[in-house]
Amino acid sequence: MMWFVVKSLLSGVIVAVVSEVARRSPGFGALVASLPLVSILGMMWLWHDTGDPDRLAAHASATFWYVLPSLPMFLVIPLLIRSGVPVWWALAAGCAVTVLLYTAMTVSASRLGIAL
């Protein structure tokens, strides 16, 4: 249980740091947020917990495929906000688009023989 608390605290600190950096400098905050910190931490936690290289490799590979459908969200949200859509609705729409694209990626990947 203590390991879970350590992982949670460290992960939370990273999110808080990104938020503070973005508050001071949106561009630099975006750069820091775009770093695959969560993915790297997730792989570190997975390796620590399992020590299984095949599981880690499968996780990293699946992460690549799931990053692709998440990218349009970062175009949809600013487009909607700049068009006058309230921020919370723009965020919700961006998330909805991402969920639809995740679903499409999952179905497409299985048909193409890509293990996710």
Taking residues 90-112, what's their average pLDDT? 95
Predicted local confidence at residue 101, as pLDDT: 96
pLDDT reading at 81 higher than 90: yes
d(CA 12, CA 112): 36
pLDDT reading at 65 higher than 90: yes
pLDDT reading at 10 higher than 90: no
This prediction's pTM: 0.74
CA nearest to 97, candidates 85, 105, 108: 105
d(CA 14, CA 74): 20
The residues spanned by each domain of the chain are 52-116
Joined together, the tokens standing for residue 64 give 């690549």
